[in-house]
């Protein structure tokens, strides 16, 4: 881990954030964003220095943000399909204990892989809106995502809390 980036986080910061799950996770995510944006290196070079666990947390943040704002179609149209579906994200998040999220991502990946070329095609806003009717199979996955989100979010928070050394340096 000599080439990894582990931002310093104080116990006080953790104590202040631990009452709210997203505040807690953004304590880490915001530090990662600061590192990326302040580095003179190319973004990909910086990202190469993050741990697998940091990447998984960043991927989860993208998944959550995109699905809750526009579903899997928005996620794919915004270019995140390969980021989530071509990486072992589902397997990794399952290892953290968030097995229902992993199951949803696995099912969405099947749809994505089957229709990838069409789903990734650049579209006008009107064409984008019509995609929701063209790909209704995502809707039950999104519904399930909303139903399990709070519980799975706690599982992710607990994984981070129990493995802080993989995400940051406690200072």
Q: What is the pLDDT of residues 160-169, one digit of tens each?
A: 999 999 999 9
Dihedral of CA atoms 35, 38, 41, 44 in degrees, nearest 10, equals: 50
Compute the distance between CA of residue 48 and CA of residue 168 in angstroms, rounded to an integer: 16
More confident residue, 96 or 18: 96
Q: What structural domains and CATH numbers belong to the chain?
A: 8-170 (1.20.1420.60)
Phi, psi values for residue 42, rounded to 5°: -60, 145
CB 93 within 8 A of CB 101: yes
What pLDDT was estimated at residue 44? 86
What pLDDT was estimated at residue 3? 64
Compute the distance between CA of residue 111 and CA of residue 109 in angstroms, rounded to an integer: 5
Question: Is pLDDT at 1 greater than 50 in this prediction?
Answer: no
E-strand spans in 6-143? 8-9
20-39 tens-digit pLDDT: 999 999 999 999 999 999 98
pLDDT mean across residues, the chain: 95
Which parts of 39-137 fold into alpha helices (H)?
Answer: 43-47, 52-77, 81-85, 89-95, 99-120, 125-134
Q: What is the pTM of this model?
A: 0.93
pLDDT band at 97 (very low <50, low <70, confident <90, very high): very high
């Amino acid at each position: 881990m000599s080439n990894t980036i582990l931002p310093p986080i104080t116990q006080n910061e953790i104590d202040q954030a631990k009452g709210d799950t997203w505040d807690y996770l953004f304590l880490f995510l915001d530090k990662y964003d600061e590192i990326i944006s302040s580095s003179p290196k190319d973004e990909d070079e910086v990202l190469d220095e993050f741990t697998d666990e940091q990447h998984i947390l960043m991927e989860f943040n993208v998944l959550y943000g995109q699905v809750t704002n526009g579903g899997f179609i928005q996620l794919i149209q915004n270019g995140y399909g390969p980021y989530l579906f071509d990486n072992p994200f589902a397997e990794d998040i399952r290892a953290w204990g968030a097995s229902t999220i992993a199951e949803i991502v696995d099912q969405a990946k099947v749809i994505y892989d089957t229709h990838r070329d069409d789903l990734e095609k650049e579209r006008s806003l009107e064409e984008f809106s019509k995609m929701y009717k063209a790909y209704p199979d995502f809707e039950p996955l999104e519904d399930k995502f909303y139903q399990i989100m709070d519980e799975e979010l706690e599982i992710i928070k607990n994984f981070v809390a129990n493995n802080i050394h993989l995400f940051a340096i406690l200072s």
